Amino acid sequence: MKSIIYADNAATTKLDIEAFEEMKPFLTEEYGNPSQPYSFAKSQKNALKKSREIIARSINAEPEQIFFTSGGTESDNWVIKEFGVPTDEKRIITSSIEHHAIINACECMRASNRATVTFLPVDSKGLVLTKTLEEALKYDRQSNSYPASTLVSIMMANNEIGTVQDIKELCRISHNQEALFHTDAVQVVGHLPIDVKELGIDFLSASSHKFNGPRGIGFLYIKNGNLSILHNGGMQEKGLRAGTENVAAIVGMARALENNCKRIKENAEHISSLERKLLNSLSDLSFVRNGSNNCLPGNISLSFKGFEGELILHRMDLMGICISTGSACDSVNTQTSHVLKSIGLEEEYAIGTIRISLGKDNTEQDVDEIAYALHRILNS
């Protein structure tokens, strides 16, 4: 396999080698079912307990508030579809730039008449304005058909443009109007410090493969219940999500998260330094940088007028460099990104958008080669 430069870390990340090593015994030696009472299952039970504790510490939660899932999409769907009392009339308030796991789940709830849904607009930087949320909640309060259960779901940081929201304030506003608050933190967990107690949130979604853990595993933080059963069956995850646990993946997720959190400041500084270097190297080119001033380190959304993002991506690929044009989960959709539409980016810029997402394993040489490749493509 030829050497590549991987700059698509918002899509997925390289598996942490220590996480991989810690997973191995649970695939080949300690393979018992943790639900069984015999001693051979004890190591699996202990591994689940330890992993839950590690993950809880990483976001300042309690172990009993951590529920294992298959990833961010499942965690998001669980909250959107099962919050509150099942028989209650429900309302969901979310933003127009959420991941499709949230948007499509909300549309499903609306189509099946299980909830009314309000999509909040964002400003040109991708920020949800507190005034907009306040007005949506106040209008709801004054309605004669006020739902018994209201959920506000706002992502902590956007996967396409990197904008980080003021989750603490948005949560405070929601709670003032007796609404539950969920945040999709898939892009943030393991990359920026998170304290769920300080934020006050009710639910938080996370996905292992975004912070150097294995794929197909994630977790959902649930503060005080308020969710119905996702899968019926056994009593795994307190009977809320039945199914034999993937112990190897859970162990790998916990180790990867623990390792990232130990170096969270160092990694962020390294990635931010690479980001500054790249942008300085591209300063002679004409482009629009999307997102707010408070962005995820290394998440760089650039729009070039007169070019096609897909063409830039494929040219970069031929040069051994992996980038994207936006969300990896929507890469087959050739329509303009809903995120770019929501921030009001002109169509001629939107079609020329690429996303470079740098990670902790990227180097200054990687950045030099990315800048060189972009100059070759855009000046040819």
Q: Are residues 178 and 315 in the same domain?
A: no
**What tokens were used for 93?**
């308030």
pLDDT given for residue 84 in this prediction: 84
For the chain, give the number of residues: 380
Q: In this predicted model, what pLDDT tens digit does every residue of 353-364 receive, in sequence order?
A: 999 999 999 999
- CA dist 149 and 146 (Å) reads 9
Q: Are residues 147 and 253 in the same domain?
A: yes
Q: Which of 261, 287, 307 is the last residue of a domain?
A: 261
Distances (CA, A) of 313 to 98, 288, 319: 23, 17, 10
What does the buried/exposed string (b/e) look like for 179-193 if buried means 16 or more CB atoms within 10 Å of the residue's CB? bbbbbbbbbbbbbbe
Q: Are residues 328 and 373 in the same domain?
A: yes
**pTM for this prediction:** 0.95
Q: Which of 232, 261, 290 is the last residue of a domain?
A: 261
380's CB contacts (< 8 A; 6+ apart) are: none
With a cut of 50, list the residues of the chain below it in pLDDT: none
Q: What is the CATH number of the domain that holds 211?
A: 3.40.640.10
pLDDT given for residue 78 in this prediction: 97
Beta bridge partners of 317: none
Report the mean per-residue pLDDT for the chain: 94
pLDDT given for residue 139 in this prediction: 64
Active site residues: 329
pLDDT given for residue 110 in this prediction: 96
Beta bridge partners of 117: 92
User: What sign has the CA pseudo-torsion 217, 102, 313, 210?
Assistant: negative
The answer to whether 93 and 171 are in contact (CB under 8 A) is no
Q: Are residues 182 and 286 in the same domain?
A: no
- CA dist 11 and 28 (Å) reads 29
Q: Are residues 21 and 84 in the same domain?
A: yes
Q: Which amino acid is at 246?
A: N
Q: Which amino acid is at 116?
A: T
**Domain, as residue range, for 25:** 17-261
Distances (CA, A) of 268 to 47, 89, 249, 361: 29, 43, 25, 12
pLDDT given for residue 377 in this prediction: 98
* Residue 234 C-alpha from the chain's centroid: 28
Q: What is the CATH number of the domain that holds 364?
A: 3.90.1150.10
**What tokens were used for 92?**
């969901």
Burial of 70 (0-12, 13-18, 19+ CB in 10 A): middle
**What tokens were used for 264?**
């969270």
The answer to whether 172 and 151 are in contact (CB under 8 A) is no
Beta bridge partners of 220: 67, 205
**What tokens were used for 120?**
């909040």
Question: What total number of domains does the chain contain?
Answer: 2
